[in-house]
Chain A
Amino acid sequence: MVFSSLSFLLLFLPLLLALYFVGRGLKWRNAVLLLFSLLFYAWGEPKWILCMLGATIVNYAAAFGIDRAKSVRTKRLFLALGVIATLGALFWFKYASFFFTTVFSLFGAKSPVSEVRLPIGISFYTFQILTYAVDVYRGKVPVQKNFARLLLYVSCFPQLIAGPIVQYADIAAQLDDRTATMTDFSEGFGRFSVGLAKKVLLANLCGKTVELLLPEGVALSVAGAWLSGLMYTFQIYFDFSAYSDMAIGLGRVFGFTYRENFRYPYISDSVSEFWRRWHISLGSFFRDYVYIPLGGNRNGAWKTVRNLLIVWILTGLWHGASWNFVAWGLYYGLLILLERFVLARALPRIPKVIRILVTFFFAMTGWILFYHTSLSAGFGHLLALFGVGVQGTDAGVKEVLSKYTVLPLIAAVCSLPIVPAAKAWAEKRPARKTALNIAVPIFETALFVLSLAFLVGQSYNPFIYFRF
């Protein structure tokens, strides 16, 4: 199930809220939340729930073993078993086909492993459950003896399918004790409505423009290459950050506090900063569980380079099993190395506006590689940006600019931190603050109604004979 669906909004959410808040005890609430989280996950393809249960059981047992083990060696053994089993499942579902196809193609043979269907959310919950086992091993958190609570941590529906990747240490206390106040309920729903609007009103419309600009098998033009790159850059931001907004908002409604996952990444003035603002929970995971254990930047320049490249190749591969994603990860790894070791002194001398624009351009070119399913198509698109072998413009550009004239402008404005700026401005005077407290719920209500209208409108297949 996804948040931006009528099944979720009209059936699942009202029923869950009613049952959750009808009981006051934490046991009841956790039980309701767990039951609905499993239903949420099972909606669509129930069989994959076994996969998630399996990962939880393995790590529950591994953590138990770690806790009970007397020697470090035994603890390591239990941790290794848990990690290997969990990552093994991820490898099988996500990478086996890619890996075996690549290896067998080197010998001109056909891979015996055909395409394996990917259980939804596996990349997210695998990392989440690993943070639990590793942190128990590190002694950072106590073992969770209550299996249902551990399962609730893994399966909690707001962050289950598309993150943020919540580390166990951040949430452990809230599983055992939390309250959901009137303010949590109110502001959580407010945040959810903003996320819903970003997804339905902005990401989906940006997505429509990308479909118009990049039809399969049609040659790109220069204008088409730029506009499609730009609109996809906005689409992916609004899409992903919307999900995080909704997750954080819903989490808050039920008394959970999740860390921010996006902080207006398109105002970054360097690629390094971009990645401190984009998918923060993934960056934190790789920093805490890969980069630092590898030695981070403490063992000299060459090892730092090695560690960074490993992290960025893994980051690329986490997003998908193809050479495009490897190239995309390497692209960022090399840019960050360049910033750190070559341009460290020169960058601060460049005006900030220029740095932001250049960073935005590099982010956009990264998303172009990310979008295409083959490297040749990705590089073809990049070449088209600079007019290599293509026409100036095409029919898709004309159509997008006539049908969605204002959308690129709205998308650009909405990707800027206007709301925090407005809040900061309002905080300075009590009268402003009061006005804002009245205006924000009304504005969010309008967004909510409009999002609902667009969700319904997506199914509408009009026949208005003079407009099709």
Chain B
Amino acid sequence: MKRFGFIIRYLWVLALVWLGGMTLLLTPREARVSTSENRMLAAAPELSFETISDGSFTDGTEEWLSDGIVLRDPLIGLSRAVETALRVPSDEDEEAMALIDAIEAEMNEAPAEPFAPSAAPQTEAPQATAEPQVTSAPQTAPAPTAEPTATETPQVNDAAFWLEFKDGKRQTVFEFPAANIVRAAEVLNAYRAVLPEDGNVVFLQVPVASMGNAFLNRIDRDPVWRSDLEDSLQRLVSDGVVIVKVGEAMNEPLKNGEYVYFRTDHHWTARGAYYAYRAAMETLGVPAAEYSDYTYFVRSGMRGNNAKNGAKSDTLEVMHELLPTKSYVVSHLTDSREIPFMDYDAAGYLAFIRGTQKPWRRFETGAKTGRTALLIGDSFSNAFLPYLLPHYDRVMMTDLRYTSYDPKDAGASVSEYIERYGVDDVYFVLCLATSINSEFFTGGQVVRYLH
């Protein structure tokens, strides 16, 4: 029996030798994109006296091994399965999962062939030369659609996001319990409270690509997205908080067969982000730039993180900035490191502003509008941000999710960043999964990291 134990442990060592050897042999030395993680995987570190003495070689080796180890996917799958087993799924989780599964199933039944670009893809275009026709963001927000009073709390009902058909029938896709709406309003009001008097909080809740497919799969029934969430929320928030109806803004483009969502990825395209931006500007009462004011780098053959074997690939359009923009990664409130604005070499959605870069980003535009914005979002905000730039001298950006944010690196609370950089307006651009119905937004990091 002792021999059995020895053989087993001896096999471990052989397995480690095999894993280490294969990893050294097979893992690429250069950095590369992980489409499933929406980030760059580490390159092998450079070996030099400097990198050894400052410790960057050893840190880099660990990162490179971790990102490139042979059998990485099954090992990660195993760890995720165990972590999932540690938790007891709530009813909320199960409902959300059932919903997503249902949408995904529908998407698979009728492949999304309507997703074709409305115009033939352009070739790589040069930087825009024409003067953009945009104005700065408003000094004050327009009046909400309904008037809250200071003394009485409006009655709040559950709200929903649904597809409405020509025959009058409707299919609810998301429901928002009243309690979540109230909590979301409190969050938005808390952010409004730390802004200057003429500041705005602009909230955009973004439908994901599978919902665009759900729409297109019922195109013969003449569907439209409807939602009573935005009006419910607007009734509860303070002056200066603006709720944008992003879902409804997608109706016409979807009906017209415009290319607003990727076919092989859950994100929106630049065009989809543009329609959300235009809806936000309309709600704010500010003239928006035209989609055609921008020039776009175009690359075909994109295969996003939902790509299935045999599925038709996507065409990636990435805008060039309208005004010369400098982009920085910011940490510890004031430490800045300049990085390129976009990554036109990236094969997928990571191209937009080079993906999420922890913990903060800063974009200097030279727009001379006298205003600064803060964009708090998930990865959907990456394609949205470039459209915002011409309206602000400076745009700060952060993604507060645990995987994208480390409060120690940030070194200060969100409100301290707001104060330090003189933020006037805050935009929330979050997909449906990370906003009203998520703990992340209504009780988690978005709330905790404010002060």
Chain A contacts with B in 401-449, Cβ cutoff 8 A:
402-407, 410, 434, 437-438, 440-442, 444-445, 448-449
Q: In the complex, which residues of chain B have a beta carbon less than 8 angstroms from the beta carbon of A18? A: 17
Q: Which residues on A sit within 8 Å (CB–CB) of B88?
A: 402, 405-406
Contact of B2 among A186, A189, A404 (CB under 8 A): A186
A193 and chain B: residue at smallest CB distance: B12
- Nearest opposing residue in chain A for B59, CB measure: A44
Q: B59 — which chain A residues lie within 8 A by C-beta?
A: 44
Contact B72 A456 (CB under 8 A): yes
Assess A437 versus B36: contact at CB under 8 Å? Given A405-B86, A406-B87. Answer: no
Is B401's CB under 8 angstroms from A468's CB? yes
CB <8 Å contact, B62 and A406: no
Which positions 40-79 of chain A face chain B at CB distance < 8 Å? Answer: 43-47
B204 to chain A, nearest CB (A): 16
- Determine how close the nearest CB of chain B comes to the CB of A231; give it in whole angstroms: 13
- Say whether A457 faces chain B, with CB atoms less than 8 Å apart: yes
Contact B447 A395 (CB under 8 A): yes
A457 CB to closest chain B CB (Å) equals 3
Contact across chains for A456 and B69 when beta carbons are under 8 A apart: yes
Q: Tell me the complex Cα distance, A402–B440, Å.
A: 13
Q: Are A46 and B53 in contact (CB under 8 A)?
A: yes
The total of Cβ contacts below 8 Å across the A-B interface reads 177
Instruction: Tell me if A22 is interfacial: C-beta within 8 Å of chain B.
Output: no
CB < 8 Å neighbour of A461 from B23, B39, B85, B439: B39
Contact check, B2 vs A437: say whether CB atoms are below 8 A apart.
yes
A135 at the interface (CB under 8 A from B): no
- Identify the stretch in B76-84, B152-160, B310-318, B365-373 within 8 Å (CB) of chain A at 4 or more residues: B76-84
**In the complex, B407 has a CB within 8 A of chain A:** yes
A463 within 8 A of partner (CB): yes
What separation, in Å, do the CA atoms of A421 and B150 have in the docked complex? 66
User: A14 with B13: in contact, given A217-B451, A453-B76 (CB under 8 Å)?
Assistant: yes
| A440 nearest CB across to chain B (Å) | 7
Residue A293 at the chain B interface, CB threshold 8 Å: no
Contact A218 B448 (CB under 8 A): yes
Given A182-B3, A395-B444: A465 in contact with B69 (beta carbons within 8 A) = no
Binding site secondary structure of chain A: helix
Residue of A nearest to B86 (CB): A406
Asked if A1 is at the interface (CB within 8 A of a chain B CB), the reply is yes
Interface string of B59-82 (1 = CB under 8 A from A): 101110111010010011011101
Q: Is A467 an interface residue (CB 8 A)?
A: yes
- Cβ-defined contact, A402 with B37, below 8 A: no
B52 and A46 contacting across the interface, CB-CB below 8 Å: yes
Q: In the complex, what's the smallest C-beta–C-beta distance from B446 to chain A, in angstroms?
A: 10
A10 and B65 contact, Cβ closer than 8 Å, known pairs A44-B55, A450-B79: yes
The answer to whether B433 touches A404, judged by C-beta atoms less than 8 angstroms apart, is no
Cβ-defined contact, B448 with A215, below 8 A = yes
Cα distance A1–B451 when bound, in Å? Answer: 36
Q: Choose among B1, B5, B266, B431 the residue that contacts A187 (Cβ–Cβ < 8 A).
A: B5
| A468 contact set on B, CB distance < 8 A | 378, 401, 403, 433-434, 440
A284, chain B: closest CB distance, angstroms: 30
Closest to A442 in B: B8
List residues of B (211-247) whose CB comes within 8 Å of A's CBs: none
- Give the residue of B6, B69, B100 whose beta carbon is less than 8 angstroms from that of A466: B100
Is A25 an interface residue when CB atoms closer than 8 A count as contact?
no
Most A CB contacts (10 A, CB to CB) among B8, B19, B85 go to B8
Separation in Å of the A86 CB from the closest CB of chain B?
26
B210 to chain A, nearest CB (A): 9
What residue of chain A has the Cβ atom nearest to residue B74's Cβ? A453
B448 touches A395 (CB 8 A): yes
Q: Please, how many angstroms separate the alpha-carbon atoms of A7 and B16 in the complex?
A: 11
Instruction: Using C-beta atoms within 8 Å of the partner chain, give the interface range for chain B.
Output: 35 or more
Of A43, A410, A453, which contacts B75 at CB under 8 A? A453
Chain B residues near A463: list those with CB within 8 A: 36-38, 305, 379, 403
User: Does residue A399 face the partner (Cβ distance < 8 Å to B)?
Assistant: yes
The answer, yes or no, to whether A398 is at the interface (CB within 8 Å) is yes
B66, B85, B97, B451 interface centre (most CB from chain A within 10 Å): B66
Question: Are B86 and A437 closer than 8 Å at their CB atoms?
Answer: no
* Nearest CB on A from B10, distance (A): 8
A190 neighbours in B (Cβ, 8 Å): 5, 9
Provide the A152-175 mask, 1 if CB < 8 A to any CB of B, else 0: 000000000000000000000000
Q: How distant is the Cα of A187 from the Cα of B10 in the complex, in angstroms?
A: 11
B395 CB–A CB distance under 8 Å: no
Determine whether B301 belongs to the interface, using a CB cutoff of 8 Å to chain A: no
| Choice from A187, A189, A450, A466 contacting B96 with Cβ under 8 Å | A466
Enumerate chain B residues within 8 angstroms of A193, measured Cβ to Cβ: 12
Interface residues in A10-49 by Cβ distance below 8 A to B read 10-11, 13-14, 17-18, 43-47
Query: Which chain A positions have C-beta within 8 A of B2?
Result: 182-183, 186, 437
Q: Are A462 and B37 in contact (CB under 8 A)?
A: yes
Residues of A within 8 A of B86 (CB): 205, 403-407, 410
A459–B66 contact, CB under 8 A? yes
- Look across to chain A and name the residue whose beta carbon is closest to the beta carbon of B80: A457
Contacts of A187 in B (CB 8 A): 5
B105 shortest CB reach to chain A, Å: 14
A461 and B403 contact, CB distance less than 8 A: yes
| Complex interface residues of chain B between 3 and 39 (CB less than 8 A to chain A) | 3-6, 8-10, 12-13, 16-17, 19-20, 23-24, 36-39
B16: nearest residue on chain A (CB-CB)?
A14
A-side contacts of B208, CB under 8 Å = 465
Q: How far is the CA of A395 from the CA of B434 in the complex (A)?
A: 16
**Cα–Cα distance between A6 and B58 once the two chains are bound (Å):** 11
Chain B positions within 8 Å of A403 at CB level: 86-87
Closest to A6 in B: B65
Residues of A within 8 A of B408 (CB): 216
Contacts known (A395-B444, A460-B76); A17 close to B13, Cβ less than 8 A: yes
- Judge if B413 is at the interface, Cβ distance under 8 Å: yes
Residues A200-253 near B (CB distance < 8 A): 201, 205, 215-218
Residues of A with C-beta under 8 A to B434: 468
A5: B residues at CB distance < 8 A:
62
CB distance from A127 to the nearest CB of B (A): 26
Distance of A453 Cα from B78 Cα, bound (Å): 6
Residues of B within 8 A of A92 (CB): none
Question: How far is the CB of B214 from the nearest CB of chain A, in Å?
Answer: 14
Given contacts A182-B3, A450-B82, A47 and B53 within 8 Å (CB-CB): yes
B149 adjacent to chain A (CB < 8 Å)? no
Task: Give the contacting residue for B16; candidates A13, A43, A434; CB below 8 A.
Answer: A13
A331 interface residue, CB < 8 Å from B?
Answer: no
Query: CB-CB < 8 A to B23: which residues of A?
Result: 10
> Residues of A contacting B5 with CB < 8 Å?
186-187, 190, 437, 440-441
The verdict on B90 contacting chain A, using a C-beta distance below 8 Å, is yes
Contact of B17 among A14, A44, A46, A218 (CB under 8 A): A14
- Which residues from chain A contact B413 at a C-beta distance below 8 Å? 217
A189 to chain B: which residues have CB within 8 Å?
Answer: 9, 12-13
Q: A10 touching B76 by the CB < 8 A rule?
A: no
Which B residues from 417 to 451 make CB contacts under 8 A with A? 431, 433-434, 439-440, 443-444, 447-449, 451
List, sorted by A's number, 28 A–B pairs whose CB atoms are closer than 8 Å.
A6-B66, A7-B58, A7-B61, A14-B17, A14-B20, A186-B6, A187-B5, A217-B451, A398-B443, A402-B88, A406-B85, A406-B86, A441-B4, A441-B5, A445-B12, A448-B12, A450-B79, A453-B76, A453-B79, A453-B82, A456-B72, A459-B66, A460-B80, A461-B37, A461-B39, A463-B37, A466-B97, A468-B433
Q: Contacts A406-B85, A457-B79 given; 10 further ones with Cβ under 8 A?
A: A13-B13, A44-B58, A189-B12, A201-B82, A215-B448, A218-B448, A405-B88, A406-B86, A457-B76, A467-B433
Return the 5 tightest CB-CB contacts between A and B, nearest first.
A457-B79, A10-B20, A395-B443, A437-B1, A459-B66
B residues engaging A (CB < 8 A)?
A: 1-6, 8-10, 12-13, 16-17, 19-20, 23-24, 36-39, 52-53, 55, 58-59, 61-63, 65-67, 69, 72, 75-76, 78-80, 82-83, 85-88, 90, 96-97, 100, 208, 266, 305, 378-379, 401, 403-404, 407-408, 413, 431, 433-434, 439-440, 443-444, 447-449, 451
